[in-house]
Amino acid sequence: MAEPTADAAIAALVAASRRSAVGRRLQGEVEQSLLQSIVDATVRLFDAEAASIALFEHDPDRLEFRVAAGDKGAGAVGLAVPPTQGIVGYVYSTGQALALSDVGNDPRFNRDAAEQTGYVPRSIAAAPLFDEHGTLGVLQVLDKRSSPTFSLRDMELLGVFAGQATVAIAAAKVQRDTARLLASVLAEIGPELEAEQVDALVASATANLDTDDEAPFWRMVDQIARMRGMSDREMSLVADILEVVAGHAERTQRGRIGQ
């Protein structure tokens, strides 16, 4: 590989990573609030004790509970379970929706994870969230109050909600996973690249991605994300302020160059 071309390519990848990270930052809250509204609706419609959504994350491979609703749901948020364990893991691995009842009475049920949430359910129904590329995560409902078990109709309904959650994720998904995005693009444009080479390129492009939450740049991105709910008037006021600041910055820079 000729060095200047390689440098330019790396620079382009770094720029793409940064844009992707910014996009993720801006979209993150939107995704989160959409998913939250889906578990809120699920828990109400099922009249269940809890509902939650776990999404697959890399390094280490895990299913992380992102949102939860219901009286007994709160403890699940932030909890991560291995994708090779438990009912959620099975549903994720196979893409098959299923429901179990009497799980609380069975001492062999994967209680560890349940107890971490502060709640051990009697029954659980789980459905996969998947798009055309594969399974993204799992939507689960714990303990319907009106019945000790889940019916076929319940399973179907759960599938519909899982579909909604998938749609909500779809928009933000590319930004969610910068490394995967880069790897897939690299594989496409350089089919002769070995897997290790792709990994190395992705690593170097994402290594210095500034993820320090307190860094001024990210604080600014976060502020912009918060502005989504603003009225047009407020928005144009902010744009005016930014214009003044940017103009000031340019003049300062020109001054420095001129010195």
Partner 1 sequence: MTSSELPAWSEPFADPRRDLRRSLRLRGVTRKWAWGDATGAGVRVGIIDSGLENDHPRLRGRVVQNVTVEMTDDGPKVVPDGTADMFGHGTACGGIILSMAPEVELVSIRVLGADLRGKGTAFAAGLEWAIEQGLQVCNLSLSSKSESLYPIFHDLADRAYFQSTVLVSAANNVPAASYPSLFSSVFSVAAHPEPDPWRVYYNPAPPVEFGAWGVDVPIAWKDGGSTVATGNSFAAPHIAGLVALILSKHPGLSPFEVKAVLASVADNPGRRHPWRHRTDAAG
Binding site for partner 1 (CB under 8 A): 61, 83-87, 89-90, 92-103, 106-109, 125, 127-128, 130, 132-135, 149-153, 155-156, 159, 162-163
Q: Which is nearer to partner 1, 54 or 205 (CB)?
A: 54
Rounded Cα distance between 215 and 212, Å, is 5
Q: If you write DSSP's letter for every residue of 154-196 in order, what string do you get?
A: HHHHHHHHHHHHHHHHHHHHHHHTHHHHHHHHHHHH-TTS-HH
Residue 142 phi/psi, 5-degree rounding, is: -115, 130
Q: Which is nearer to partner 1, 70 or 86 (CB)?
A: 86
| Helix (H/G/I), strand (E/B), else coil: 73 | coil
Q: Is 134 left (phi over 0), alpha (psi -120 to 50) or beta?
A: left
Q: Which is nearer to partner 1, 32 or 101 (CB)?
A: 101
Rounded Cα distance between 126 and 119, Å, is 16
